[in-house]
Structure 1
Amino acid sequence: MSFVTHAATASQHGIAMHGSLKYPADFSHFDYTNPDAPKGGQLREAAIGTFDSLNPFIIKGTVAEGTGLLYDSLLARAYDEPFSLYGLLAKQLRVAEDRSWIEFDIRSEARFSDGKPVRAQDVVFTFETLLDKGSPFFKSYYGDIKQVTALSERSVRFEFNATINRELPLIVGEVPILPQHYWADRDFSTPSLEIPTGSGPYRIARIDPGRTVVYERRGDYWGTDLPVNRGRHNFDIRQYDYYRDSTVALEAFKAGEYDFRAEYSSKAWATGYTGAPFEDGRILKEEIEHGNPRGMQGFVMNTRRDLFADARVRQALTLAFDFEWTNRNLFYGAYTRSNSYFSNSDMAATELPTKAELDILEPLRDQLPAEVFTQVYQAPSTDGSGRNRQQLRQALRLLQQAGWRLDNGRLVNSQGTPFHFEILLVQKEFERVASPFIRNLERLGISADIRIVDVSQYINRLRQFDFDMVVSSFGQSSSPGNEQRDYWHSQSADRVGSRNLIGISNPAIDQLVELLIAAPDREQLVLRARALDRALQWNHYIIPHYHISAWRIAYWNRYRHPEISPTHDLGLDTWWATP
């Protein structure tokens, strides 16, 4: 059968999720790269915490930063399109009209870092290994793969269980390809600091376990002049140095210990980037606007805990977070409140559902909160004075409706058990966000503690869902799809290591997730994302935080970047060092 379809289906140089490709078959480079960018120099960055593994594909261990530099995938993404991929390891591809299968032809020149050729069997090995021994995420993300077959030494075919999953032919093209020969006598499931063999533009030159990892650009890298790579991977050295916390890391940056920093703290951005290196231009600051959906960040409640099982309780806790006061007093007014799980995009539900969207929601009416159909969700707001009595009175009414009562200033349930929980943090900076929230909770008779743990402990506790509340975020792309199962679907609620931190097990949301994955075109993708957005909003799973739609970056003035920035990525791999 494969030979018939092979002959009947034209080969192509790339694939788009919806619509057509921006770049033709003979394109020379992406518009946001400088094909004449000089090679050389080094770029040093900071990481927080520690690492004890160089294997990013398993659930065990804390992986080092930058391991993605070691591997190539069959296809490479264009970051100025919503979701389009072009040939990298694969020279060309063929895909069924109904997307029930896809075939890739691997370039004859493609080589691993030890000089051995990349073969179709390596692709088969990669997927079999990830599904069998990799992180549990892979079984969910690639669950609709029926079979991966090597048709020849350099041709591989994927067949899928469902034809409605239009994204799957693309996401299999993004997987880093592993060398079968390297792993033949090694245990893939065990964390290791042994330097692995890859196929990408860099190899590891040196590690200082837990402190530093250094990548060097391969002089023998086979893919330097491919259209998808031209103007990228310009630094001879990429280095990550580990610091105890971000405060120490910022001071190290200002002292010249490393070169580039992306800033996520508005306070640090407003007050910490001062001094001689900024005044005399040795360090540059930039804010680069982007078109990425901002997803959702917030206080995440673990609904596996009885304490957070009632949506009225979750809504009440949301009323206790005073964003306006927090933004004014802690963030210098830098942030916008997040109301949507698809903020900063056309997929955000910001108006009442249209008829087309109601057609999606109506079959689920009995399983969804009534507000989904009648109201536009807006996170609670205050006047910013810090005296949010109206919101707290409303919160107390909801808590009383859920069976809680005040007893000598403490909120207790029918058994007299106090309302108490712990907020687990890994970034000390969030303590100043959580502390005012806790003070408001105290006015409701609720007690909460903050516990700050190291990175390794934090990762392990999240993997096991061993927390009451955490601060977390759920990032979104311009083309959401299979990853939504790992965020919200019942099948991931109890799967160790999943991103369903909330513990959502809701049949209506399951159906909306599957509908989103099966969207036949961009119009339906947007409608179905909005429908899912409403269901998540009105179940009050998260206490929404805030977002900003720009990269805040600082770097020493020996680096340059192209004039055109990619819409959907910072594009750091397109930068270069000046002499």
Structure 2
Amino acid sequence: MRIFKFSNDCASRGRGTVLGLVLAGVAAMPLASRAEGVPAPTEGLAMYGEPALKPGFQSLPYVNPDAPKGGTIRLGEPGSFDSLKPWVLKGNPVQPLSFQPNLVVETLMMRSLDEAFTLYCLLCESVQTDDARSYVEFTLRPEARFSDGSPVTVEDVIWSLETLGTKGHPRYLGTWARVAKVESPGPGRVRLTFTAPDRELPLLMGMRPILKKAQWQGQDFSQSGLTPPIGSGPYVVGEVDPGRRITFQRNPDYWAKDLPITRGLNNFDTVRYDYFADSNAMFEAFKAGEIDVWREQNAARWARDFSFAAVTDGRVIKEEIAHQRPSGMIGLVMNTRNPIFADWRVREAMIDAFNFRFINNTLTGGEDARITSYFDNSPLAAGAGPATGAVLDLLKPFAADLPPGTLEGYALPEGSDRPLDRKAIRGGLKLLEEAGWTVQDGLLKNQDGKPFAFEIVLNQTGSAMRSSSEVQQMVSIYVEALRNLGMQVQVTTLDSAQYVERVNNYRFDMTWYERALSLSPGNEQTLYWGSEGVTEPGTRNLMGVASPAVDAVIAALLQARDDAGFKAAVQALDRVLTVGRYVIPVSFQRASRMAVSASLAHPKRLPVYGDWPGWMPDAWWQKPQ
């Protein structure tokens, strides 16, 4: 049962009852009279250890605190949008509001991209929690204001948390279920008590968007819409041309422009996003000088296709931005809700048939390494060879139900330089036969004579990490190999809105998959591959993982009290997911390839996460004329 309480301070400002809840006056306890042993409020909170930045810091380490203000940055996105509400499941939301943190709508705390997972106060002036992290309490900055000049209040915070947790996108629901009580113990203070201690929950609550309650009252919040949100962030929504363009204008009266946490950020007067039919059209617009930034995912194109005039005469600069973050997972995901993909032997055969070596050489020049696990390129990766030590201890109770290779070690097939990897095809046919599928009259069928037929659903606009043409080329080569196994494959390409609707409701057999992962995985892992996500629409568990071992190791990483226990739990999770054979992985970049207008600049000091949401355009600026 959740109990919501507001102090007399809230009522005295004429805000009345909220969501049918009773206001309760609770006298504020002065800080000086807090009981001995109660942790003191701080300005920062880290998942493990102490924040790197000490009180009194002047700016984030990867920004230029003296960056000039002004100018316009023009960015591009493939696809379309029909909603300015990224906090609900319905609609196709505009990307900047989804992935540019604190652009328009701010959070209580703000992430540093130079630490695995550390937050510093933004809307709040201090945060407090106990050693067990059974609760978190935020004290709001009295000067915090929405763009219309109204104050950000305790009531706005509590309403936002409760509304997102009950009517918002499914990504918010699981976390909110762990909140037992939210209340205001005094003026400007919000306290959340959790159903059980959880090291990450205080940070997750600090990252929830804080909306202006008065704007949304009397509306069905779960519906999508094009009403510009009133936020407290440095930008306000400007011109909106649904599906084609959106601009954000810097608010000259931004309340936090002089805070150390924001110093050197939010430098452009205007941030403009143009939408294009696909990534090919977007690249042509970049070459023509209509947008200022291009991220190239293909190593072959990076070497081959950047000799156009703007590059040769210096108007466009090529850069490679190094990072230390995990590879994440990119590739083709199999939906195990479809019975034909429920057997690991079938999924292994599907992986064997994908001749990565040939595809990588053909499409990208073979420059980028293949993803070998979900946390590849980081200390959190499971690594090669058998499980040992604490990782083995975590997985042993589930040994009987784990796919072969989980404890012993697993490696992806080597592939062939030729289009058809005959060795892999033979191995795949053997696995399929063991799973009950044999070639009959040239077609792969089960013992009931039902053919092995499935659909690959693709987004015609491509994705954040791959162009639509590159994905389609990969799939075309792959489908030819699958036909050698006797499979019947249909490829369906949809517009963005149709694609989002089908994927949100898991109405696909196989689709393109991209899952970025951080150096500090936490509660979001339940959303990505927890058992509850098998039937709940809109989760990120596209493959339909329902594994007691996965649920157990996620619980272990959430309960870990030190770095060693946390690392072992993540490595165990990485091992179970990889050997689960849910995704056919492709390549990843150890550095982001960016071509940018020579008029733009960024600090030389790069954050640990590199080119990550919160860095570009946030820390960039336009060079003075």
Map of 1:74 onto structure 2 = 108
Secondary structure, in 3 states, of the residue corresponding to 1:451?
Answer: strand
Going from structure 1 to structure 2, the CA distance change for 1:370 and 1:275 (only over 3 Å counts) comes to: closer
Map of 2:474 onto structure 1 = 433
Q: In 2, are the aligned partners of 1:463 and 1:498 still within 8 Å (CA)?
A: yes
Between the aligned partners of 1:478 and 1:251, the Cα distance in structure 2 is 35
Amino acid at match of 2:236: R
Q: In 1, are the aligned partners of 2:322 and 2:610 still within 8 Å (CA)?
A: no
Amino acid at match of 1:47: E
Between the aligned partners of 1:60 and 1:500, the Cα distance in structure 2 is 18
Between the aligned partners of 1:264 and 1:59, the Cα distance in structure 2 is 28
What's the CA shift for 1:6? Answer: 7.2
Map of 2:274 onto structure 1 = 241
Between the aligned partners of 2:324 and 2:526, the Cα distance in structure 1 is 24
Between the aligned partners of 2:484 and 2:35, the Cα distance in structure 1 is 68
Going from structure 1 to structure 2, the CA distance change for 1:5 and 1:443 (only over 3 Å counts) comes to: farther
Q: In 2, are the aligned partners of 1:348 and 1:530 still within 8 Å (CA)?
A: yes
Cα deviation 1:329-363 (Å, max 9, x = unaligned): 11111221111111111111113222222221122
Q: Does 1:258 align with 2:299?
A: no
Amino acid at match of 2:564: E
Q: Does 1:349 align with 2:386?
A: no
Between the aligned partners of 1:267 and 1:140, the Cα distance in structure 2 is 42
Secondary structure, in 3 states, of the residue corresponding to 2:430?
Answer: helix
Between the aligned partners of 1:5 and 1:379, the Cα distance in structure 2 is 57
Going from structure 1 to structure 2, the CA distance change for 1:151 and 1:569 (only over 3 Å counts) comes to: farther
Between the aligned partners of 1:24 and 1:535, the Cα distance in structure 2 is 38
Map of 1:85 onto structure 2 = 119
What's the CA shift for 1:367? Answer: 2.5
Map of 1:36 onto structure 2 = 66
Which ranges of 4 or more aligned residues in structure 1 deviate by more than 6 Å? 4-7
Q: In 2, are the aligned partners of 1:141 and 1:486 still within 8 Å (CA)?
A: no
Deviates most, 457-466 or 145-154: 145-154
Map of 1:576 onto structure 2 = 621
Map of 1:457 onto structure 2 = 498
What's the CA shift for 1:5? Answer: 6.2
Q: In 2, are the aligned partners of 1:431 and 1:450 still within 8 Å (CA)?
A: no
1:23 aligned residue (37, 40, 53)? 53
Between the aligned partners of 1:382 and 1:173, the Cα distance in structure 2 is 46
Between the aligned partners of 1:6 and 1:295, the Cα distance in structure 2 is 44
Q: Does 1:522 align with 2:563?
A: yes
Between the aligned partners of 1:266 and 1:186, the Cα distance in structure 2 is 48
Cα deviation 1:406-459 (Å, max 9, x = unaligned): 112211111112111111111232010111111111111112122111111110
2:598 aligned residue (554, 557, 571)? 557
Between the aligned partners of 2:490 and 2:304, the Cα distance in structure 1 is 28
1:172 aligned residue (185, 198, 205)? 205
Q: In 2, are the aligned partners of 1:201 and 1:218 still within 8 Å (CA)?
A: yes
TM-score by length of 1: 0.97
Cα deviation 1:301-331 (Å, max 9, x = unaligned): 1111111111110111110001111111111
Secondary structure, in 3 states, of the residue corresponding to 1:374?
Answer: coil
Between the aligned partners of 1:258 and 1:467, the Cα distance in structure 2 is 34
Between the aligned partners of 1:235 and 1:495, the Cα distance in structure 2 is 40
Map of 2:188 onto structure 1 = 154
Between the aligned partners of 1:514 and 1:189, the Cα distance in structure 2 is 30
Structure 1: any 5+ residue segments left out of the alignment? none
Q: Does 1:230 align with 2:283?
A: no
Q: In 1, are the aligned partners of 2:344 and 2:403 still within 8 Å (CA)?
A: no
Q: How does 1:120-139 map to 2 (within 5 A)?
A: 120-139=154-173
Amino acid at match of 2:265: R
1:503 aligned residue (535, 539, 544)? 544
Going from structure 1 to structure 2, the CA distance change for 1:173 and 1:330 (only over 3 Å counts) comes to: same
Deviates most, 243-252 or 381-390: 381-390
Cα deviation 1:41-77 (Å, max 9, x = unaligned): 0111011111111111000011112224111111111
What's the CA shift for 1:513? Answer: 1.6
Amino acid at match of 2:477: P
What's the CA shift for 1:269? Answer: 2.5
Deviates most, 177-186 or 75-84: 177-186
Q: Does 1:295 align with 2:328?
A: yes
Map of 1:402 onto structure 2 = 435
Between the aligned partners of 1:388 and 1:475, the Cα distance in structure 2 is 30
Q: In 1, are the aligned partners of 2:84 and 2:93 still within 8 Å (CA)?
A: yes
Q: Does 1:63 align with 2:93?
A: yes
Q: In 1, are the aligned partners of 2:334 and 2:583 still within 8 Å (CA)?
A: yes
Between the aligned partners of 1:6 and 1:456, the Cα distance in structure 2 is 55
Going from structure 1 to structure 2, the CA distance change for 1:370 and 1:433 (only over 3 Å counts) comes to: closer
Map of 2:137 onto structure 1 = 103
What's the CA shift for 1:115? Answer: 0.6
Between the aligned partners of 1:311 and 1:167, the Cα distance in structure 2 is 33
Map of 2:408 onto structure 1 = 374
Between the aligned partners of 1:448 and 1:141, the Cα distance in structure 2 is 38
Map of 1:467 onto structure 2 = 508
Amino acid at match of 2:53: Y
Map of 1:360 onto structure 2 = 394
What's the CA shift for 1:136? Answer: 1.6
Secondary structure, in 3 states, of the residue corresponding to 2:286?
Answer: helix
Q: Does 1:187 align with 2:228?
A: no
Between the aligned partners of 1:215 and 1:139, the Cα distance in structure 2 is 29
Q: In 2, are the aligned partners of 1:44 and 1:258 still within 8 Å (CA)?
A: yes
Going from structure 1 to structure 2, the CA distance change for 1:402 and 1:149 (only over 3 Å counts) comes to: same
Secondary structure, in 3 states, of the residue corresponding to 1:269?
Answer: helix
Amino acid at match of 2:141: R
Deviates most, 33-42 or 413-422: 413-422
Amino acid at match of 1:101: Y
Between the aligned partners of 1:197 and 1:209, the Cα distance in structure 2 is 18
Between the aligned partners of 2:160 and 2:82, the Cα distance in structure 1 is 22
Secondary structure, in 3 states, of the residue corresponding to 2:576?
Answer: helix
Q: In 2, are the aligned partners of 1:13 and 1:91 still within 8 Å (CA)?
A: yes
Map of 2:10 onto structure 1 = none
Aligned residues: 577
Between the aligned partners of 1:359 and 1:19, the Cα distance in structure 2 is 25
What's the CA shift for 1:132? Answer: 1.6
Amino acid at match of 2:398: L
Q: In 2, are the aligned partners of 1:349 and 1:534 still within 8 Å (CA)?
A: yes
Cα deviation 1:556-577 (Å, max 9, x = unaligned): 1101110101111421111100
Structure 2: any 5+ residue segments left out of the alignment? 1-25, 463-467
Q: In 1, are the aligned partners of 2:90 and 2:223 still within 8 Å (CA)?
A: yes
Deviates most, 512-521 or 392-401: 512-521
What's the CA shift for 1:535? Answer: 1.2
TM-score by length of 2: 0.90
What's the CA shift for 1:263? Answer: 2.2
Cα deviation 1:536-573 (Å, max 9, x = unaligned): 12221111222111111111110111010111142111
Secondary structure, in 3 states, of the residue corresponding to 1:15?
Answer: strand
Between the aligned partners of 1:452 and 1:270, the Cα distance in structure 2 is 29
Map of 2:488 onto structure 1 = 447
Cα deviation 1:492-525 (Å, max 9, x = unaligned): 1110001111111122221122112222122111
Secondary structure, in 3 states, of the residue corresponding to 1:70?
Answer: coil
Q: In 2, are the aligned partners of 1:270 and 1:332 still within 8 Å (CA)?
A: no
Amino acid at match of 2:85: N
Q: In 1, are the aligned partners of 2:129 and 2:137 still within 8 Å (CA)?
A: yes
Cα deviation 1:148-202 (Å, max 9, x = unaligned): 2122341111111111x21111111111111112112333122111222101110
